[in-house]
Amino acid sequence: MTDRYAVIGNPIGHTKSPLIHGLFAEATHQDIAYEAIEAPREGFAQTVRAFIASGAKGINITAPFKLEAFAMADERSERATLAGAANALRFESGRIVAENFDGVGLLRDIEVNLNMPLAGKRVLMLGAGGAARGALLPFLAARPAEMVIANRDVAKARTLVSQVKASVPLSARGYADLEAMGSFDLVVNATSASLTGELPPVAPGVFSPQGTAYELAYGKRLTPFLRLARNAGVLGVADGVGMLVEQAAEAFAWWRGVRPDTRPVIDRLTVPLE
């Protein structure tokens, strides 16, 4: 019997998840059906319950339902708990298990696909929202030399920093503090600024020309953030398509017990930045 999965969001028309998981299933010979479901803004839980009743095995969750997905779970991973959000659910024996693979997918794209291990590197994360929260534990586990969380609301960044026990230097800063801190090997834009064509208020001096600038948004070519980095002399710029595929592969492996090869899918979805 074909196992059913889905991605649930609102809106959902832009999603690449059915294509990604369809390619994964074909490559790994898994008998699954994967669909996109647009839930009403006030009807996420009801949509999930109905999908479970139809025999579903799991779902991915995208905006704006990641907090609700976390809240309705019976069991939550440490990563999901720190993020306060879930991007994947698994249904087993009447229980709902929540996970968050966003940070794991981001780290794998950077360390494996972009060939930039974070150990010993200075890392700057712009933003202290859900995306940054999801990435924090995997990034710290990679043992950077230093990690800085910068946010317009410094108190929000400080709250996030206070919620983890870090074995590496970890601090919260305002954007105005960054210029005096020198350059970073990796700068990640985890803000929503690029979704509206805006630029986080960050000085060009935070970028190391030998480092990497990573934009979580994908398919938007050279965003204002990536353009700032490129103008600052950074050769290594990337958007979030690799993260998208890698987090999907983590969820697929969690559900099916086999991890697909991500490179062919990333290559298929990659849009030239220029």
Binding-site residues: 15-17, 62, 78, 87, 102, 127-131, 216, 218, 240, 247
Q: Is 227 exposed, middle or buried (0-12, 13-18, 19+ CB in 10 A)?
A: middle
66 as an active site residue: the answer is: yes
Cis before 11 (ω within 30): yes
Residue of 57, 66, 156, 220 marked active site: 66
* Kind of pairing between the strands at 56-61 and 88-92: antiparallel
Beta strands in the chain (DSSP E): 3-9, 32-38, 56-61, 75-76, 88-92, 95-99, 122-126, 146-150, 170-173, 184-189, 207-215, 236-238
Angle at 138 between CA 137 and CA 144, to 5 degrees: 95
Q: How many residues does the chain have?
A: 274
List residues with catalytic annotation: 66
